[in-house]
Amino acid sequence: MGHITGKDVYGDLEKKIDGLWMRTPRKKSFYKVLKLLYTDAEADLVVRMPFGFAPLDRITRLAGRPQNETRKLLEGLADKGLVLDIAPGDRTFYAPSPIVIGLFEFTMMRTDGGVDQKKAAELFHHCMLEDGALFAANFKPDARIASVWCFKSALPLIMGCRLGIDMMSSQ
């Protein structure tokens, strides 16, 4: 006998965001934050995205959606700060936003009424501060809490030399 079970896309999204450069608290309040911020379709798309920056065509293939639908979802997610987007040339690259700097800051900076900020603030406060789980997971000697992304053209200015890494052209 087969069983039909619904996919828990928000649980999968929790795992995805936890796999980014800052660990997330696995608790009901964070799950509720995700349900408040993402639609089911947005959550499903982010779960299917690569962890790093990728162009629209790659995300479209991974998501198994039509390109116009994928683009519309990504643009909406970027407007909400739920994915990061960069356009170093004629292509735009997208990556899932981590909890910090990402979901928290971009959600709390919004003033367009698209998110219940009072509810979001209460949930974020609970999942980030009340029991110290976020800090315990991230502020230990081997924890990496940030990644730096820059345009390839800026590297010679930053490093004082040409660096032979081009993550964008490998996509």
pLDDT tens-digit profile of 112-144?
667 777 887 787 777 777 767 677 776 766 655
φ/ψ (deg, to 5) at 42: -65, -45
Q: Which residue has the higher pLDDT, 2 or 139?
A: 139
Q: In CATH terms, is domain 9-159 a member of 3.30.413.10?
A: no
Distance CA 9, CA 80 (A): 19
Whether the per-residue pLDDT at 99 is higher than 60: the answer is yes
Q: Give the Cβ contact number of residue 92 at 10 Å.
A: 16
Q: What is the pTM of this model?
A: 0.72
Q: Where are the domains of the chain?
A: 9-159
Averaged pLDDT score across all residues of the chain? 77
Give residue 26's pLDDT. Answer: 73
Whether the per-residue pLDDT at 1 is higher than 50: the answer is no
Distance CA 94, CA 81 (A): 11
Angstrom CA distances, 58 to 27, 161, 170, stand at 31, 31, 12
